[in-house]
Amino acid sequence: MSCAAESLRFRRSLQRERDRMSDADNPALGQAWFPSRWGAEDEIGAGNLLGPHTVLEAARLIRSGETVSLGFPYRVGMPLSPGRTFGLKMPGGPTGGPEGAVSRTVWNDDFVCTEIGQIGTHMDALGHLGHQVTYPCGHCDTLVYNGNKLSEIWSPYGLKKLGIEKAPIFFTRGVLLDVQALFGEPLANGVEITPEHLLQCIDRQGLDHNDWLRPGDVVLIRTGHGSRFFSEAANWYDGEPGLGLAAAEFLSALQPVVVGADNFAIDVVPPVDPDMVLPCHQHLIMRHGIYLHEGMNLDALAETGRSEFVYAFAPLRIEGATGSPGMPFAIL
Amino acid sequence: MSCAAESLRFRRSLQRERDRMSDADNPALGQAWFPSRWGAEDEIGAGNLLGPHTVLEAARLIRSGETVSLGFPYRVGMPLSPGRTFGLKMPGGPTGGPEGAVSRTVWNDDFVCTEIGQIGTHMDALGHLGHQVTYPCGHCDTLVYNGNKLSEIWSPYGLKKLGIEKAPIFFTRGVLLDVQALFGEPLANGVEITPEHLLQCIDRQGLDHNDWLRPGDVVLIRTGHGSRFFSEAANWYDGEPGLGLAAAEFLSALQPVVVGADNFAIDVVPPVDPDMVLPCHQHLIMRHGIYLHEGMNLDALAETGRSEFVYAFAPLRIEGATGSPGMPFAIL
Amino acid sequence: MSCAAESLRFRRSLQRERDRMSDADNPALGQAWFPSRWGAEDEIGAGNLLGPHTVLEAARLIRSGETVSLGFPYRVGMPLSPGRTFGLKMPGGPTGGPEGAVSRTVWNDDFVCTEIGQIGTHMDALGHLGHQVTYPCGHCDTLVYNGNKLSEIWSPYGLKKLGIEKAPIFFTRGVLLDVQALFGEPLANGVEITPEHLLQCIDRQGLDHNDWLRPGDVVLIRTGHGSRFFSEAANWYDGEPGLGLAAAEFLSALQPVVVGADNFAIDVVPPVDPDMVLPCHQHLIMRHGIYLHEGMNLDALAETGRSEFVYAFAPLRIEGATGSPGMPFAIL
Amino acid sequence: MSCAAESLRFRRSLQRERDRMSDADNPALGQAWFPSRWGAEDEIGAGNLLGPHTVLEAARLIRSGETVSLGFPYRVGMPLSPGRTFGLKMPGGPTGGPEGAVSRTVWNDDFVCTEIGQIGTHMDALGHLGHQVTYPCGHCDTLVYNGNKLSEIWSPYGLKKLGIEKAPIFFTRGVLLDVQALFGEPLANGVEITPEHLLQCIDRQGLDHNDWLRPGDVVLIRTGHGSRFFSEAANWYDGEPGLGLAAAEFLSALQPVVVGADNFAIDVVPPVDPDMVLPCHQHLIMRHGIYLHEGMNLDALAETGRSEFVYAFAPLRIEGATGSPGMPFAIL
């Protein structure tokens, strides 16, 4: 696809998306994107694509038996989006004991206070993000995946629907598209990744154009923003290279279960169109029930040279949470 | 082994353990258990037994492709050890947005405050637990894995050594010993599981006496205490069936990387010998560098009838934390 | 006033209140209670009644020089309304040091996680509570003091208006009405305190019917519920004796700056009319800008036999908080 | 006192303090500073100097009836000592309700996680700070007020002795010494305030040299560091002007109940003698049981021109906490 063709395609896509978004203001028309293809009651989204067959296919990719962490550790000083908090305190030194005249057993706890589901390497729950609609009377509500109204599923102590505890266990085929390697360096903030870039990665990495991503697979995008995670922690949330809406559409058509990246929001920030903030978030999570894995550390994986691997991740099942931290890993 | 013989063996084991513990008071003699077999600087313990070969062996166990969660969800109202806290608060409804005139993007956070590494289903870090020694002058310190002094590795904001971020990724062969099924019902609090019980499970489940557990494997013990996790949450920490020291010695001789159970401390509580509190903890974590996975939910796994499976778990790498929550899972 | 007359008066008052509340559904008519008498921009409410003159008048009441705490301490195990949390953890033992080769200075911190403004003895901010209105289109918002819309003043990180940091310093005349002494025992849950009861207290305590409470004074009601604070902590929020709406109207007519009580909500719980939940809260805070001081400990004050005293309290000025803990005190 | 004489006096004082500190290593000699003058069991320290007589004397100072806050508000972005955390989250919008078909009552909570007793304007508990002693065997403990061993009074969930809940209600005579006005500008970091400076303030402010501070009074020192509290929040803990040990000795001889300042630690930072870190803290809290009020906002008080006033403060009685936030205030 030429650059001009791609650009045209993108402008059209953007217009279509703006049209659809406007439609969503009208609940009658908003049904373009809900109920979901898995029914009006579904809370799992693309997780429905998983099953024993995807596990078995993934297991066949295991060759060397090496495991590679795809996440960053969590510590005070890590990047935090404005308003969020991370604290770890050790209640005691030690916390408990000694117990038992002979064993004199002693133990320690740690205590955290943090937006646990939305810091560092984390996966968003399907209830994390939505689109605010304005009713004719001027009042507003927010629609999330499957047309759920946030006002109906939200509570002060957790989401009543679409919390991260509903997410499945992920053990499925993963594919890395190394855009950083394509560019030869980490992409700068604001650089939009297009379908063309992704196609070039597919070529460059020797993947099969017609079969590089299958339903239920995971696709991970290395932008290079992860290389600045600890070294530029204070500015890490100021902007990022990331997917434009066209790239998200390109990916969603292939039905992955997870789209992950080494940036904080998958999307490019600042956005291409200032009226469309985090459009890939809306497109992928809200419309297609695809899970986003953000803040990944893809450097070690990239160094292995492997484009295909098992992606394994089991979310921390805090009921009603909007996301999950944890250490996703690849098996090679 | 007859009951009488077993009992004799156990009494002797207990005496030996008491002797050793007393030795540990004398730092010169305490070297019976440190440095570790992996050297004085090791922070990984039995994690050293893992490698590509254990991953490849485990992968060969995948047959049906089914995945089974081995953990409980986390929520207000779950069992909590005295002194610990669990709170989940949603800052906002929604937290952020709307952003973008067309996309009107809206998102939500959740905020937790809790002893994250020591609640519900969790794995202990090697620095979690130790043995208090008293020096001739009357002063005390606590020794943890590899003879580290707690006074030297502890800080108010996390462990400086042996934190959970040092633990490996676990993808290895798991074996379930279903003591609940052996008894025909959940064991009562205070019931000690002995080597004899474990041998009977091995028989009953058709495992090979000489090859049922190999170095780097994970062994999971179903006591039945997990069946009371939510239904008797307020009393769940009052006591539990669990391993006695003889059973822990029986297991550690086979060099597993993880010992897990559906109770809160692997050990039987109250202890067999009131002077020896959590002796399996000390034996397994402190002396052998074996990871404990506590508060597991083994019911669904037991229902599958499978005794061998892949055990997969990647700890939440909070630096300096004393343990990790998360959802371990089996692949069948 | 006879009991029958009082009862009639109360029924009428309740009807009037219901009428007014229904009016509030209609924003045009809701202006019955806003803007406030101190103008549409006011955020202080009855705090406007305070000034140097009330301080000087209060100071004249100081006779013995005795100070009496009017609050409970805060600790794990104190009563907590469902959903709220209280944790105190000491990060370290010690937290910091030793610093300085000679001084070897060492220090300790404590760390809390809690709904700080809404636990135990606390004062509500004017933005704490409101009345939900439903617009003709069916959508809702909440109106708080001075007709502010909650949707406009709320943020995930604190109230943008009417937070507790706006409250004044209180050093003013206080009057105790000891209903527990009138009844001869702590009142039972659900017992409504009426204007007649308050008048009987005024008589019994020898206060001047025509001058017992002046604008800017504080009135404290001892119901006896405070005597159950620690001893019945688990059930303390199940119900309480407290003011009925008629009593709140009786008090608000005299323009106090604070109404306090030794129960959790000033109001009687369960309410007299199930359709009117916490009507005194709405009447006092929302309509009259009067501060509520809840969960007070009035026993020591009652034992002194003093009905008049200085009430001193300076709220903890956490910006945007919905209330303040602290230790109000009396000077005799 | 000439500068040379003062300097000599100071060097001698420092030597004496060093001698004493070394003595404290020897528990037998350490009794130079404990038991306290109020007995070995005392937990109140200089609070013993308070009583009805000091309240009555203070009340006589009330002339205009004006009240002045002496504290800063608390918010995200305020100065925080390294390692500490401040977060405020609103669980919900709203948190509760609507309740009642007619009243439709709605309410809000806020939730904080923070080192509540050691942030912003706060008073230290007597158990906050101590001196580490090394026993002949090489082991260490920390001695705090009245010779209490930290190892005996500390717990992971709060101090068992000397917590802030033991502190009295303060309503007593306060005196402001405005060193900032003496210098004509805010003092720079590291500038030591000497007895000579304090004497010059006493002169300049027209206070009586022989009767300016009486037992049970509060003395507040305006250094100018408070003027940088919000404007230089990120650097506020890097250093400060403050008292040297000679000034602390000068003050303690007059037996105040509280020494307060508009800096973070009363002491000058960096210290005069690098081997003596926070020596005024040790001298005042540990040896004399005098309460420190740190991070005060003394600008509004200074503007009134009043040197004498009522100082009023009632600590937040969180059991076992190492300090208390809150809003101390002056009455003029």
Give Cβ neighbours of residue A4 (< 8 Å, ≥ 6 apart).
none
Q: Read off the tokens for B259.
A: 């010992």
What gap in Å lies between CA B124 and CA B321, rounded to an integer? Answer: 9
Same domain for A318 and A233:
yes
* Interface residue D85 vs chain A (CB under 8 A): yes
**Same domain, residue pair A101 and A244:** no
The residue range of the domain holding D22 is 3-75+121-128+162-331
Could C130 and D118 be called an inter-chain contact, meaning their C-beta atoms sit closer than 8 Å?
Answer: no
For chain A, first and last CA: distance in Å? 32
Measured between CA atoms, the residue of chain D closest to residue B89 is D91
List the chains bordering chain B where 3 or more Cβ pairs fall under 8 Å: A, C, D
Residue A155's closest chain D neighbor by CA?
D92
Nearest by CB to residue B156, choosing from D83, D90, D141, is: D83
Nearest Cα residue in chain D from A84: D87
**D60 Cβ contact partners less than 8 Å away, ≥ 6 residues apart:** none
Whether chain A has a CB inside 8 Å of the CB on B275: the answer is yes
Looking at the DSSP assignment, which residues form a beta bridge with residue A79? none
Q: Is the CB of D101 less than 8 angstroms away from the CB of C142?
A: no
Best mutation target, C106, C153, C155, to test chain D (most D CBs within 10 A) = C106
Q: Has residue C7 got a pLDDT over 70?
A: no
Contact C113 B87 (CB under 8 A): yes
**C-alpha gyration radius of chain A:** 21
- pLDDT digit string, tens, across residues D99-142: 999 999 999 999 999 999 999 999 999 999 999 988 888 888 99
Closest to B323 in 3D by CA, of B173, B78, B158: B158
What is the total count of domains within chain A?
2
Answer yes or no: do B96 and C157 touch at CB < 8 A: no
CB contact D304 to C (< 8 Å) = no
Q: Exposed, middle or buried, B163 (CB in 10 Å: 0-12/13-18/19+)?
A: buried
Please report whether residue A96 resides in a domain: yes
CB contact under 8 A, B113 and C113: yes
Strand partners, C260: C220, C293
Contact state of B93 with D89 under an 8 Å Cβ cutoff: no
Cα-to-chain-centroid distance, residue D71: 12
CATH number at residue C61: 3.50.30.50
Tokens of B139: 């002063």
State which residue of chain D sits closest to A110, comparing Cα positions.
D156
In a domain, C70, yes or no: yes
Distance from CA of C332 to the nearest CA of A (A): 41
State the nearest Cα–Cα gap between A109 and chain D, in angstroms.
Answer: 9
pLDDT of residue A12: 61
Closest residue in D to A96 (Cα) is D156
Q: What is the mean pLDDT of chain D?
A: 92
Whether A137 and chain C come into contact, CB under 8 Å, resolves to yes
A152 located within any domain:
no
Counting one residue from chain A and one from chain D, the pairs whose CB atoms sit within 8 A come to 31
- The CA-atom distances, in angstroms, between A214 and each of A150, A219, A301, C205 are 32, 10, 20, 83
Distance (Å, rounded) from C-alpha D133 to C-alpha D28?
Answer: 12
Q: Which residues of A touch B233 (CB under 8 A)?
A: none
Interface of B with D in 38-67 (CB under 8 A): none
Q: Cβ distance B128 to A108 under 8 Å?
A: yes
Q: How confident is the model at residue A28 (pLDDT cuts 50, 70, 90)?
A: very low
Task: Kindly state whether residue D34 falls inside one of the protein's structural domains.
Answer: yes
Report the neighbours of A using a cutoff of 3 or more CB pairs below 8 angstroms.
Answer: B, C, D
Q: Is the pLDDT of residue A17 over 60?
A: no
Which residue among D92, D139, D157 sits closest to B135, beta carbon to beta carbon? Answer: D139
- Chain C, window 99-128: residues with a beta carbon less than 8 angstroms from a chain D beta carbon: 99-118, 127-128
The residue-averaged pLDDT of D271-291 equals: 96
Please give the structure tokens belonging to residue B316: 């939440």
- Give the three-state DSSP class for A93: coil
Q: Is A88 on the interface with D (CB under 8 A)?
A: no
Chain A residue whose CA is closest to B143? A106
Cβ neighbours of A75 in B, within 8 Å: 158, 318-320
A293 has a pLDDT exceeding 70:
yes
Residue A296 falls inside a structural domain = yes
User: Does C258 reside within a domain?
Assistant: yes
- Asked if residue A36 is part of any domain, the answer here is yes
**Do the chains contact at B104 and A156, CB–CB below 8 Å?**
no
Q: Quick: pLDDT tens for A227-251.
A: 999 999 999 999 999 999 999 999 9
Q: Are residues D207 and D316 in the same domain?
A: yes
Does residue D234 share a domain with residue D99?
no
Question: D149-193 pLDDT, tens per residue?
Answer: 999 999 999 999 999 999 999 999 999 999 999 999 999 999 999
A137 touches chain D (CB under 8 A): no
Pick from B285, B307, B282: which is nearest to B221 by CA? B307
Is residue C26's pLDDT more than 50?
no
Please tell me which residue of chain D has the smallest CA distance to A107.
D156
Residue range C160-203, pLDDT digits in tens: 999 999 999 999 999 999 999 999 999 999 999 999 999 999 99
Confidence bin at D20 (pLDDT 50/70/90): low
Q: Are C304 and C282 in contact (CB under 8 A)?
A: no
Q: Please report all neighbours of C, defined by 3+ CB atom pairs within 8 A.
A: A, B, D
Hey, is the C-beta of C82 within 8 angstroms of any chain B C-beta?
A: no
One domain, residues C109 and C232: no
Query: Is B249 in the same domain as B322?
Result: yes
Residue C171's pLDDT is what?
A: 98
Contact between D111 and C107 using a beta-carbon 8 Å cutoff: no
In this prediction, residue C303 has a pLDDT band, given cuts at 50, 70 and 90, of very high
For residue C15, the model assigns a pLDDT of 61
Nearest to D89 among B111, B137, B138 (CB): B111
Q: Are residues A252 and A272 in the same domain?
A: yes
Indicate if B112 and B255 belong to the same structural domain: no
Nearest CB partner across the interface for D135, out of B89, B137, B156: B137
Q: Please tell me whether residues C71 and C203 are part of one structural domain.
A: yes
pLDDT at residue A26 in the model: 44
Residue D310 within a domain: yes
The answer to whether C259 contacts chain D (CB < 8 Å) is no
Question: Is residue B288 a contact partner of residue A76, using CB atoms and an 8 Å limit?
Answer: no
Pairing of strands D170-178, D218-222: parallel
Q: Which residues of D touch A87 (CB under 8 A)?
A: 85, 87, 113
Query: Which chain C residue has the Cα nearest residue A134?
Result: C139
CB contact under 8 Å between A154 and B90, yes or no, is yes
Is 50 exceeded by the pLDDT of residue C268? Answer: yes
Listed residues A118, A142, A174: the one ending a domain: A118
Q: Does B212 touch chain A (CB under 8 A)?
A: no
Chains with 3+ CB–CB pairs under 8 A to D are A, B, C
Question: Above 90 in pLDDT, residue C228?
Answer: yes
d(CA C279, CA A138): 30
Q: Does A118 sit within 8 Å of B88, measured CB to CB?
A: no
Task: Spell out which residues of chain A touch residue D86, defining contact as CB-CB under 8 Å.
Answer: 85
Alpha-carbon distance of D13 to D29, in angstroms, equals: 19
Last residue of a domain, one of D97, D118, D139: D118
Which residue is closest to B98 within chain A, CA to CA? Answer: A132
- pLDDT tens across A165-219, in order? 999 999 999 999 999 999 999 999 999 999 999 999 999 999 999 999 999 999 9
CA–chain centroid gap for D201, Å, is: 20
pLDDT (tens digit, 0 to 9) for every residue of chain B, 332 residues total? 344 555 455 456 556 655 555 555 444 434 478 999 999 999 999 999 999 999 999 999 999 999 999 999 999 999 999 999 999 999 987 999 999 999 999 999 999 999 999 999 999 999 999 999 888 888 889 999 999 999 999 999 999 999 999 999 999 999 999 999 999 999 999 999 999 999 999 999 999 999 999 999 999 999 999 999 999 999 999 999 999 999 999 999 999 999 999 999 999 999 999 999 999 999 999 999 999 999 999 999 999 999 999 999 999 999 999 999 999 999 99
CB pairs under 8 A between C and D: 343
Q: Do A89 and C91 touch (CB under 8 A)?
A: yes
Residue A16's CB is within 10 A of a number of other CB atoms, namely 12
Domain co-membership, D212 together with D70: yes
Residue in chain A lying closest to C87 (CA): A111
Residue D77 has pLDDT above 90, yes or no: yes
Distance from CA of D287 to the nearest CA of B (A): 25
Per-residue confidence (pLDDT) for residue A27, from 0 to 100 = 44
Note the pLDDT of residue D19.
59
Is residue A68 domain-shared with residue A91, that is, in the same domain?
no
Write out chain C residues lying below 8 Å of D108, CB-based: 127-129, 150, 154, 159, 322
Residue B157 is classified by DSSP as: T
Cα gap C254→C217, rounded to integer Å: 9
- Both A167 and A241 in one domain: the answer is yes
Nearest CB neighbour to C83, from listed A89, A92, A156: A156
Of the listed ranges A16-20, B256-260, C202-206, the one predicted with least confidence: A16-20
